[in-house]
Structure 1
């Protein structure tokens, strides 16, 4: 089954269209995934900022990048009333053990900002990718859980998860991720859970008709 963006016809932006600005950590995987949706429909503008090797790749560095993109003389974007800003992060701890504290602070700051949202996958973005084709969460005993999740995703998709094709199953991913979602007392996702379905719902509300039509044509 061919599920590339070539099957979609781009449409001109409407006055009601909102822009989604997505700031994620990944230099490749996350960037390619969200780029899929920007390419298929221009009624929403999805801005994905991927960090370069010389950028501050800490959660705080990513959040500062988002803040600076909308403020000051060198602002890259002008945010409108209905626009949304999404910060996408992983739970996987860093070597300095500073990640938890930074994530908690960013989550709190996004809560008090209008139309700013924080979503997190535990332990990595591959948890979200996993749910595009799986209805039940996996459990791993390995010390390197992120590595286990990446291996599992590669096993579930021939040749690995392909961001040029597999994101079309976003509706299934939303349903599967939400059904399996569990959080702790601080509203942080437990292992095998991903909040990215919240962001996916916002994107899907605009592009769902096009995706469903193409999928029906390919059955």
Structure 2
């Protein structure tokens, strides 16, 4: 298994696990969390309390979701590295992406750490600090626009362009082109205060298509 095939598996499996976790596993095992109209301290408190009935289970499910995201980030990094090389079209774009994506992934990990820290503080009945730490996590992960997400989407646009330029078959060019366009739209809408859930689902689906195509290319 080389970098291209491993990246394919990570990019394809990551979204499937993430969607399964957030759509089915989390609501079934943890609950729905805060009401849709909750804001501020009420939102933070509800999100923390929803996972405190069984903290170990909450941490396990959250780790599965976070691990799925990190698997995708690793897959994108490996995909970008496979597009580097002397004389390859778009190699410079791929090089930039291979550097910026791991940095952004570290930011996502930091947000997860704040979530876990808030839960630990709440379990210790340190409610004031739990709300403060939880608020930091909430606004890191849910900020609009998101500084980290801006660089992730831009980096993925670069990867899509590099892959499009280097692809030799219609299927690969089409998937790479769609991937670049979707990520460009996602990056732009990051600055708009709209419901991004449908676009997020579209990103998950195109990720699966990208992963399957990378696996297909390796099998040829």
Greater share of helix residues, 1 or 2?
Answer: 2
RCO comparison, higher one (Cα < 8 Å, 6+): 2
Larger Rg, first or second structure (1 or 2): 2
TM exceeds 0.5?
no
Greater share of strand residues, 1 or 2?
Answer: 1
For normalisation by structure 2, the TM-score amounts to 0.28
